[in-house]
Structure 1
């Protein structure tokens, strides 16, 4: 799964070889932090229930849970290289990853629904809806970068 970034041709002046995991982890961490920072900032500015419904934080919570679900399994476990024991084996790991992606996409779709359903069509101020959307978009991209941007060491 992480192989699709291996075929990218990077400029010769940048050597990602030994720093790839570090760069991917830092970028994913900054995006994750920025997503929560945007939402916390919006929650401090729009404090009343009429300005921003407090239930809208649910999308970010589920995105965070999905982040941990997706990154809890390694690519080797999904391929079946590093995981052969347990109740479900490789099939269980793939189902867990699929469920994590379903939760992540559901949270992102819910954030888009909140943005348009609660703010754009109602004529309210759009900033709280944008905060919910950007929080989930940043967590979504941080999940993808953290999952597919890193390489795994082979435990031989």
Structure 2
């Protein structure tokens, strides 16, 4: 039973071969997700302007996620592997620490957005409408996926 999936191969789809367009597709998709996340939270902030409906402190989650997006994508995969980067403040170790801090901020903002959604809006039924909590969570989830797509969806050979 331990080797049940040893000979399983996923079928390849030849219609999705992006080739040299892979970087452009990853950048456009990542940008669309990042924009959609901010669009959703701006919509929620306009619909619920009062502090009692949507506390202004919940916007910190999206701001930290945006900062983490830039932190993670400021370091190339070659710098993390040590292929193209040896000088600087801490060299390859510094690039790895910087990227780790970026991912920690990304995960932390996503967890904080879940806490805002469930802790303020789902459990507390006196708020009435839970759309602001859903908007905060969607914003952070979309920025998280934009970070992953832009970081791991493009090829390094065309950028270096």
Superposed pair shares fold, TM > 0.5: yes
**How far apart, CA to CA, are the structure 1 residues paired with 2:61 and 2:14?**
41
Cα 1:155/1:30, change in 2 over 3 Å: closer
Pick the aligned partner of 1:49 from 48, 51, 55: 51
Cα displacement (A) at 1:11:
1.7
Please list the CA deviations of residues 44-75 of structure 1 after superposition, one character each: whole Å capped at 9, or x if unmatched.
00000000001100000000000000000000
Q: Which moved more, 1:99-108 or 1:117-126?
A: 117-126
Cα 1:13/1:35, change in 2 over 3 Å: same
What is aligned with 1:33?
Answer: 35
What is aligned with 1:85?
Answer: 87
**How far apart, CA to CA, are the structure 1 residues paired with 2:142 and 2:156?**
24
Question: Which runs of 4 or more aligned residues in structure 1 lie more than 4 Å from their structure 2 counterparts after TM superposition?
Answer: none
By relative contact order (CA 8 Å, sep 6+), the higher-ranking structure is 1
List gaps (5 residues or longer) in structure 1.
1-7
Give RMSD over aligned pairs.
1.5
What is aligned with 2:67?
Answer: 65
Cα 1:147/1:70, change in 2 over 3 Å: same
**How far apart, CA to CA, are the structure 2 residues paired with 1:27 and 1:10?**
22
**How far apart, CA to CA, are the structure 2 residues paired with 1:78 and 1:70?**
11
Cα 1:154/1:89, change in 2 over 3 Å: farther
* Number of residue pairs aligned between Structure 1 and Structure 2: 149
**TM-score, with normalisation over the residues of structure 1?**
0.91
**How far apart, CA to CA, are the structure 2 residues paired with 1:25 and 1:55?**
30
1:147 corresponds to 2:151 = yes
Cα 1:33/1:53, change in 2 over 3 Å: same
